[in-house]
Amino acid sequence: MNLTVNGVEARLVSPPLASLLHVLREELGVTSPKAGCQQGGCGACTVLVDGEPRRSCLVPLATIEGARVTTVEGLGRPDDLAPVQAAFHEGYAAQCGFCTSGMLIAAHAYVERGGTDERGAILEALGGHICRCTGYAKIVAAVSAAARGDVATQAVEASYEPVPGEPEVLVKGSPA
């Protein structure tokens, strides 16, 4: 099986009925899609498959052979954020962060389709995406700003400076 994930072609060894979520997180190490309900109801695992938002926990690998998959890592770079990424950053639209990647992907698809800053349309576009922290007001405001083009996509300054000698911690395949 072959996929292009965030612009990089990947040859996969997972079985054809493995979920896209499992393949992304466990085989490819792409951890922005989260394993929430694993039933398609929370939206935390949403990714773009050939430009369309899909719940990766429900997508069998065999159904997307050769597809282009985009996760949050593929939307922009720290020095060139996608408009929704910049809007979420500027508007403090992330709280715990668990829902953020799914919300960003859904918002990005909405804005790319020419979505407006109208609240009802944004709510419809984000329907089925659950924020456990109830951060909806800031999320909707961020999507509205992105739809208006009212964001700066320049570099985001790093706010964390590692302490010399501090170990780098990377938990591959964690459920979070």
Per-domain boundaries in the chain:
2-74, 83-148
176 has pLDDT over 50: no
E-strand stretches of 6-136: 8-11, 46-49, 52-55, 68-70
Q: How does residue 27 score in pLDDT terms, banded at 50, 70 and 90?
A: very high
**pTM, full prediction:** 0.85
The fold of the 83-148 domain, in CATH, is: DNA polymerase; domain 1 (1.10.150)
Quote the CATH superfamily of domain 2-74: Beta-grasp domain (3.10.20.30)
- Whether residue 134 is predicted with pLDDT greater than 90 in this model: the reply is no
Q: Is 111 exposed, middle or buried (0-12, 13-18, 19+ CB in 10 A)?
A: buried
| 8-11 and 46-49 beta bridge pairing | unpaired
Q: Going by C-beta distance under 8 Å and a sequence separation of 6 or more, which residues neighbour residue 144?
A: 117, 119, 122
- DSSP 8-state symbol, 147: H
pLDDT at 152 over 50: yes
Q: Residues of the chain with pLDDT > 90: what percent?
A: 77
